[in-house]
């Protein structure tokens, strides 16, 4: 792919203040790439956590996730223009955009979502959706099991909630077969969100499926950090 320099800028600042941690906040820092087509992204970067090594590792992980999306996007554009699926001018008319959202900011837990889009003639097409939930105290990136007390039958509880929600939403055509500890999730003030990307359990036309399980439905099996927050 022919390269051309342009500014791939990660713009603006976003401050979020967790309870009891007024000195901790997120800031978006500038980053530049020399590739084509053009792109822009907002990427959260931890700052002032008083744990610089962990802070650096997490920030690198957040940056690398979006950089991977960016590289995969370029390869896909190149492939589609090379085999005639897209006109060659799409190399210039397309735009990569990535944004993040602080979904949950509690006493010791932070949950982030990151969306990356390919934009063709002002029509966005979701490329990737990433999430990360971590502990402030040690920088641990959490798996689903880490939200619950030991030996809790959390999978049974979550699977039953999802099945009931599918019935409520008339989603009988969705191919839900249960969850694993690797299930993608994030937190919001309303509860635990389990999500499925397009084509994972449903047609692409359904988009991302989200199942919000209220904290009240889980309060007896949540870890203390979440139980105290809610």
Q: pTM (2 decimals)?
A: 0.78
CA–CA distance, 149 with 57 (Å, rounded to integer)? 27
Identify the pLDDT of residue 70. Answer: 86
Helix, strand and coil content of the chain, in percent to the nearest 5, comes to 30, 25, 45
Identify the pLDDT of residue 37. Answer: 52
Is 19 strand, coil or helix? coil
pLDDT in tens, the chain (230 residues): 333 322 333 332 233 323 233 233 344 454 544 444 577 888 887 776 677 888 888 888 888 888 888 888 888 888 888 888 877 777 677 788 888 888 998 878 889 999 888 877 666 677 789 999 988 777 788 999 999 999 999 999 999 999 999 988 877 788 888 898 789 999 999 999 999 888 888 888 888 899 999 999 999 999 987 876 66
Identify the pLDDT of residue 12. Answer: 27
* Backbone torsions φ then ψ of 123, nearest 5 degrees: -105, 110
Question: What does the block give as tokens for 186?
Answer: 């994030």
DSSP state of 201: S
CA 85 vs CA 35, 78, 117, 119, 179: distances in Å: 21, 10, 19, 16, 36
Q: Which residue, 5, 9, 75, is CA-closest to 36?
A: 5
């Amino acid at each position: 792919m022919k390269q051309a320099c342009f500014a791939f800028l990660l713009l603006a600042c976003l401050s979020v203040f967790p309870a009891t941690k007024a000195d901790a906040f997120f800031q978006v820092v500038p980053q530049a790439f020399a590739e084509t087509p053009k792109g822009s992204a907002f990427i959260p970067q931890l700052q002032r956590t008083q744990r610089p090594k962990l802070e650096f590792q997490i920030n690198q992980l957040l940056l690398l996730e979006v950089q991977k999306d960016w590289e995969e996007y370029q390869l896909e554009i190149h492939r589609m223009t090379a085999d005639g699926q897209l006109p060659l001018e799409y190399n210039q008319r397309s735009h990569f955009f990535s944004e993040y959202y602080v979904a949950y900011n509690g006493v010791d837990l932070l949950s982030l979502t990151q969306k990356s889009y390919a934009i063709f003639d002002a029509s966005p097409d979701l490329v990737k959706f990433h999430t990360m939930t971590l502990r402030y105290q040690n920088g641990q990136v959490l798996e689903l099991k880490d939200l619950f007390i030991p030996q809790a039958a959390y999978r049974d509880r979550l699977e039953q909630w999802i099945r009931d929600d599918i019935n409520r939403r008339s989603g009988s055509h969705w191919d839900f077969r249960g969850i694993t500890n690797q299930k993608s999730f994030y937190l919001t003030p309303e509860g635990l969100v389990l999500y499925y990307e397009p084509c994972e359990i449903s047609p692409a036309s359904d988009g991302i499926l989200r199942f919000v399980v209220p904290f009240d439905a889980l309060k007896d099996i949540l870890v203390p950090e979440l139980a105290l927050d809610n």
